[in-house]
C-alpha cells in the first residue's frame, strides 16, 4: 500500500493509504487539523494543502475552484484529491481576515487602461495585499490572510530554527510564504481581467520573512551578531513567486535596513516621510515584533524589539486574534465591566488592543496598581477576583464564563510595553530629543493601528507627548510597499535604507533600566488618582 506523509509544521505523520483513497479521509484518520466544511463540493476552499508528490492529477472540480496561483504552487483540495502512489503533503491553515481590510477608490474598475500593482506586507502573523493604481500610486483595496507559516510556530525564532535544522522545512516555509501571499491576493477577489492588468508587485517584510521568501541562507540570522545574509534589493524576483502573477510581472523586493530591521520598517519610514521631515517624529510599528523609528529631522534611527506577541494575543491566557467575539475595547461603568467585541458576538478572548484597554480601565479603577498587581479586594469588581489554579490572582472578564485576565497576562503586557518604551527612550536619547520636541507620533501595524491612544499614553507605553500629535494608521508598511511599486518610489526606498541606522538595543547599557521602569503602569505627569 502507498505511504502518505503529512507534514504539519515540525509534526510529521506517516500512514498507509489505498490507491485512490481521498486525501482528506486519510488525513482525518490522523487527527491532524483539517477543516472540510463543504465536504467535497470544492466551494469552501478550507481543505487546501500543498502537495509535494504522489497525488492523482486534479479533477474538474479542483480545476474549477483552484485559482491559477494556487495550481502554480501545487495547492490541492484534500476533499477531492486522491492518493496515487507514495505521497507527501503539507498542511497549511487557511484563514482569510474579514475579506477587505481596506477599501479605497473604485477608479480601477472604471479606468480599465490604467496598469495596476499589488503591494504585499508579509507579516509574521498577517499577510496583507493592497491593489494599487500605477498611474498615481493610489491604494484601492486591501485584503489579508493568516501567514500559513504559523504551523511552524507563532514566533519567528521557531520558524528560523526549523528551517536551519532541515533544508526541506526551509523550502516548505518558503512555499507557505508564497501560498500566504497568494491567499491574501485571492482575498482581494479580483476578476481575471483586473488580475491581467497587474504589472508590478512589491513585497516588504521583516528580515526573517524576507530571507524565507527569497530563499537565502539563514545561518547568519540565527547566530550572533544576527546579520542578514544579503540586504540588497531585488528588482526582478518573479521566479520567487512561482507563477502566481501574470507572466512579465515585475516583482520588487526592497532592501533591508539591518539584521533586525526589515523592509516593512523601511516602508513605514517612506510612507510617514521620515526622509523628508525636517522636524522630529517617531513611529512604532506594532505587529508580532515592535519596530521603533525616530528621526530628529536629520538622522533616522531604527530598532526592533521582541515586544509584539502579547499584542497579537500570544502568551496571553485568553488571548485571541481578531475573530468574531474578540474583545477589542472595555469600559468600567460604575461597578460594571463593559466589553466591546468584534461583531457584537459573545466574548471569546482578548485581542492586543482589548488587553491594553482592560488593563488601562482596571488601573484607572484601582483594581490593578502601578506595579501591575491585581488587588485582592478593590473598591469595584472585587467579586470577580479570585485565585486561579496557578496560584496567581485573576479577574473574570464576563460573568459565568471561563474567561479570565490573570496576573501573568498583566505581566506579559508590562514586559511588552517595557521593551517598547525602552527602545523609544534609547533612540530619543541618542538623538538628544525630549518628548516635547516630537511633532508627530505614529502608531501603526496590525496592533498599533488599533491602539487606544489614551491608554498607551496613560500607561506609559509611549513617552508623555502631547495627545494631539499621536495618530494611528493600521497599514503603514502596506501603504509604504505601495509607494515602492513605482521606479522612483523604489529608488527612494533604497536611499532611505542607506540613510537609516539600526541601533542594537542589547548593546545599550541603559536598556535594562529603561525596560524595568517602562514596565510600570503609569506615566510621568499622569495620575490615575487611585
Ligand atoms: S471541504 Fe470545501 S473545498 Fe474541500
Query: pLDDT of 18-72, one tens digit each?
Result: 999 999 999 989 988 888 888 778 888 889 999 999 999 999 999 999 988 899 8
Cα-to-centroid distance, 50 and ligand 1 (Å) = 14
Helices (H), 272-383: 352-364
Instruction: Return the pLDDT at 530.
Output: 44
Distance (Å, whole) CA 320 – CA 172: 26
3 state SS of 386: strand
Cα-to-centroid distance, 65 and ligand 1 (Å) = 10
With 0-12 CB in 10 A as exposed, 13-18 as middle and 19+ as buried, what is 331?
A: middle
| 128 pLDDT higher than 90 | yes
* Residue 420 neighbours by CB distance under 10 Å: 26
| Residue 290 cell numbers, joined | 515592535
Q: What angle is formed at CA 177 by the lines to CA 175 and CA 178, rounded to 5 degrees?
A: 65
Instruction: Give the range with max mean pLDDT: 30-39, 379-388, 520-529.
Output: 379-388
Instruction: Return the pLDDT at 103.
Output: 79
Distance (Å, whole) CA 298 – CA 3: 62
Instruction: Return the pLDDT at 67.
Output: 87
| Residue 519 cell numbers, joined | 514596565
| 444 pLDDT higher than 90 | yes
Band of the pLDDT at 524, cuts 50, 70, 90?
A: low
pLDDT tens digits for range 142-168? 999 989 998 898 788 889 999 999 999
DSSP 343: G
Beta-ladder partners of 335: none
Cis amide prior to 472 (ω within 30 degrees): no
- Confirm if 169 and 152 have CB atoms less than 8 A apart: yes
pLDDT tens digits for range 266-279? 999 999 999 999 99
Instruction: Return the pLDDT at 323.
Output: 78
Q: How far apart are the first and last CA of the chain?
A: 71
Looking at every residue in the chain, the average pLDDT score rounds to 91
Is there an atom of ligand 1 within 6 Å of 267 CB? no
Is there an atom of ligand 1 within 6 Å of 76 CB? no
Ligand 1 atom nearest 42 alpha carbon: 3
Beta strands per DSSP E along 25-95: 48-55, 75-77, 83-91
Is there an atom of ligand 1 within 6 Å of 47 CB? yes
Instruction: Return the pLDDT at 163.
Output: 94
Q: Atom 3 in ligand 1: which residue has the minimum CA distance?
A: 42
Distance (Å, whole) CA 312 – CA 413: 11
Average pLDDT over residues 437-452: 90
| 242 pLDDT higher than 80 | no
Ligand 1 atom nearest 48 alpha carbon: 4
CA dihedral 135, 141, 146, 147 (to 10 degrees): 0
Share of the chain above pLDDT 70, in %: 97
Ligand 1 atom nearest 43 alpha carbon: 3
Is there an atom of ligand 1 within 6 Å of 27 CB? no
- Whether the model clears a pTM of 0.85, i.e. scores above it, the answer is yes
| 360 pLDDT higher than 70 | yes
Distance (Å, whole) CA 367 – CA 518: 20
Instruction: Return the pLDDT at 525.
Output: 53
Beta-ladder partners of 252: 202
Instruction: Return the pLDDT at 529.
Output: 52
CA dihedral 241, 207, 99, 46 (to 10 degrees): 60
Is there an atom of ligand 1 within 6 Å of 42 CB? yes
Q: Atom 1 in ligand 1: which residue has the minimum CA distance?
A: 36
| 100 pLDDT higher than 70 | no
3 state SS of 328: strand
Average pLDDT over residues 207-227: 89
491: which residues sit within 8 A by CB, 6+ positions away?
Answer: none
Instruction: Return the pLDDT at 99.
Output: 47
Is there an atom of ligand 1 within 6 Å of 519 CB? no
Q: How many residues does the chain have?
A: 530
Mutate which of 22, 23, 46 to test ligand 1's pocket (most atoms within 8 Å of Cβ)?
46
Instruction: Look at residues 355, 329, 322, 323 and name the one whose alpha carbon lies nearest to residue 446.
Output: 322
Cα-to-centroid distance, 34 and ligand 1 (Å) = 10
Band of the pLDDT at 75, cuts 50, 70, 90?
A: very high
467: which residues sit within 8 A by CB, 6+ positions away?
Answer: 453, 454, 457
Average pLDDT over residues 88-93: 91
Q: Which residue has the cell 513585497?
A: 203
pLDDT tens digits for range 230-241? 999 888 888 888
Is there an atom of ligand 1 within 6 Å of 61 CB? no
Q: For residue 249, give the H/E element and its range.
A: none
95: which residues sit within 8 A by CB, 6+ positions away?
Answer: 145, 146
Q: Could you give the count of Cα atoms lying within 13 Å of 175 in the half-sphere of its Cβ?
A: 23
Instruction: Return the pLDDT at 127.
Output: 93
Ligand 1 atom nearest 65 alpha carbon: 3
Distance (Å, whole) CA 57 – CA 83: 10
Distance (Å, whole) CA 16 – CA 4: 6
| 224 pLDDT higher than 80 | no
Is there an atom of ligand 1 within 6 Å of 45 CB? yes
Distance (Å, whole) CA 341 – CA 353: 11
Amino acid at each position: 500500500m502507498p505511504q502518505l506523509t503529512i507534514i504539519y509544521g515540525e509534526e510529521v505523520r506517516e500512514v498507509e493509504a489505498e490507491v485512490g483513497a481521498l486525501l482528506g479521509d486519510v488525513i482525518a484518520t490522523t487527527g491532524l487539523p483539517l477543516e472540510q466544511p463543504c465536504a467535497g463540493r470544492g466551494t469552501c476552499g478550507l481543505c487546501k494543502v500543498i502537495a509535494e508528490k504522489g497525488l492523482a492529477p486534479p479533477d474538474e472540480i479542483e480545476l474549477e475552484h483552484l485559482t491559477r496561483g494556487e495550481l502554480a504552487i501545487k495547492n490541492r483540495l484534500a476533499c477531492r484529491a486522491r492518493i496515487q502512489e507514495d505521497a507527501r503533503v503539507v498542511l497549511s491553515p487557511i484563514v482569510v481576515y474579514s475579506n477587505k481590510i481596506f477599501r479605497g477608490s473604485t477608479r480601477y474598475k472604471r479606468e480599465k487602461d490604467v496598469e495596476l500593482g499589488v503591494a504585499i506586507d508579509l507579516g509574521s502573523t498577517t499577510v496583507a495585499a493592497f491593489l494599487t493604481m500605477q498611474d498615481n500610486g493610489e491604494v484601492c483595496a486591501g485584503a489579508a490572510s493568516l501567514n500559513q507559516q504559523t504551523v511552524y510556530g507563532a514566533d519567528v525564532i521557531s520558524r528560523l530554527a526549523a528551517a536551519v535544522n532541515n533544508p526541506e522545512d526551509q523550502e516548505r516555509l518558503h512555499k507557505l510564504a508564497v501560498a500566504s501571499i497568494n491567499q491574501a491576493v485571492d482575498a482581494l477577489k479580483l476578476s481575471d481581467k483586473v488580475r491581467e492588468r497587474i504589472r508590478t508587485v512589491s513585497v516588504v517584510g521583516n528580515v526573517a520573512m524576507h530571507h524565507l521568501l527569497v530563499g537565502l541562507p539563514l545561518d547568519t540570522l540565527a547566530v550572533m551578531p544576527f546579520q542578514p545574509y544579503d540586504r540588497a534589493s531585488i528588482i526582478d524576483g518573479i521566479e520567487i513567486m512561482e507563477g502566481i502573477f501574470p507572466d512579465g510581472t515585475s516583482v520588487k523586493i526592497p532592501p533591508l535596513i539591518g539584521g533586525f530591521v526589515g523592509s516593512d520598517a523601511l516602508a513605514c519610514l517612506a510612507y510617514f516621510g521620515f526622509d523628508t521631515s525636517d522636524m522630529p517624529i517617531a513611529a512604532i510599528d506594532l505587529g508580532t515584533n515592535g519596530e521603533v523609528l525616530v528621526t530628529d529631522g536629520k538622522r533616522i534611527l531604527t530598532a526592533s524589539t521582541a515586544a509584539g506577541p502579547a499584542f497579537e494575543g500570544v502568551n496571553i491566557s485568553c488571548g485571541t486574534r481578531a475573530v468574531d467575539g474578540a474583545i477589542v475595547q472595555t469600559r468600567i461603568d460604575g461597578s460594571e465591566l463593559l466589553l466591546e467585541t468584534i461583531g457584537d458576538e459573545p466574548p471569546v478572548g482578548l485581542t492586543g488592543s482589548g488587553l491594553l484597554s482592560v488593563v488601562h480601565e482596571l488601573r484607572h479603577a484601582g483594581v490593578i496598581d502601578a506595579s501591575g498587581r491585581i488587588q485582592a479586594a478593590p473598591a469595584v469588581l472585587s467579586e470577580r477576583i479570585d485565585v486561579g489554579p496557578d496560584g496567581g490572582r485573576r479577574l473574570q472578564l464576563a460573568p459565568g464564563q471561563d474567561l479570565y485576565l490573570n496576573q501573568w497576562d498583566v505581566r506579559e503586557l508590562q514586559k511588552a510595553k517595557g521593551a517598547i518604551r525602552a527602545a523609544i527612550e534609547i533612540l530619543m536619547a541618542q538623538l538628544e530629543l525630549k518628548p516635547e520636541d516630537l511633532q508627530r507620533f505614529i502608531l501603526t501595524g496590525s496592533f498599533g493601528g488599533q491602539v487606544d491612544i489614551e491608554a498607551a499614553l496613560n500607561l506609559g507605553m509611549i513617552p508623555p507627548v502631547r495627545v494631539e500629535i499621536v495618530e494611528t494608521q493600521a497599514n503603514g508598511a502596506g501603504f509604504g510597499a505601495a509607494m515602492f511599486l513605482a521606479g522612483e518610489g523604489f529608488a527612494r526606498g533604497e536611499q532611505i535604507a542607506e540613510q537609516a541606522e539600526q541601533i542594537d538595543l542589547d548593546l545599550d547599557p541603559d536598556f535594562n533600566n529603561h525596560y524595568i521602569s517602562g514596565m510600570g503602569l503609569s506615566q510621568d505627569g499622569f495620575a490615575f488618582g487611585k
